[in-house]
Amino acid sequence: MTDYPRVTQVTFQQDTLVALQYQGHVFVPMRRIVENLGMAWGTQQQKLLRNQEKFGCIYMNMLAADGRQRRTLCLPLRKLNGWLFTINTARVREDLREKVTAYQEECFQVLYEHFLQSPPAARQMAAEDVRYLTIANEHFTEIFYTWRYKIEPALFALGSPLARHLHDRFNETSALLDKIERRQRAHK
């Protein structure tokens, strides 16, 4: 029995693209992308095969809609933007330039966000992390008020050096929690 890749469909720039997950990697069948952009498959196929080492193209067996096995040229998803940047829009039919440019602009934006900003995954906390942070903040607030209004005045009245030390630590921790909370709200 042949081990077929797991197929996922993704909408990108109003086109439905196919992504194949196979042996821990994600690949994209290139013919559909080339045809979605209105370009000649034969020309792009030759370019990909001439630069197979650079692009890392492989042939994969896919089960087509008609139930037959098809050999398909695929590109690792992580190299798709590199291929898109090889397309000279001045050499693309005028009626297709806008679409090709839109694909390229999307890649520019993704690269910009990756290198000049935090990656999207880093900007958003997982829901579970947010829940834990909220619980920790609630516990700290309760402890802080007990400290501030009950324990701290008693320790200061006794002249304990521990009062100043704990006072500073509570203030620092409170400031850190406030900063985390502000960042969390800014990224919602």
Confidence of residue 1 (pLDDT cuts 50, 70, 90): very low
pTM: 0.55
Domain range list for the chain: 6-119, 124-186
Each as own residue / partner, the long-range contacts of residues 37-44 (CB below 8 Å, 24 or more positions apart, any chain) are 37/87, 37/92, 37/96, 37/99, 37/100, 37/103, 38/92, 38/93, 38/95, 38/96, 38/99, 39/87, 39/92, 39/96, 39/100
pLDDT tens for each residue of 127-179: 666 677 777 777 777 787 787 788 888 888 888 888 777 877 777 777 777 77
For the domain bounded by 6-119, which CATH number is listed? Answer: 3.10.260
Identity of the residue numbered 63: L
Specify the 3-state DSSP secondary structure of 75.
strand
**What is the largest distance, in Å, between two alpha-carbon atoms of the chain?**
87
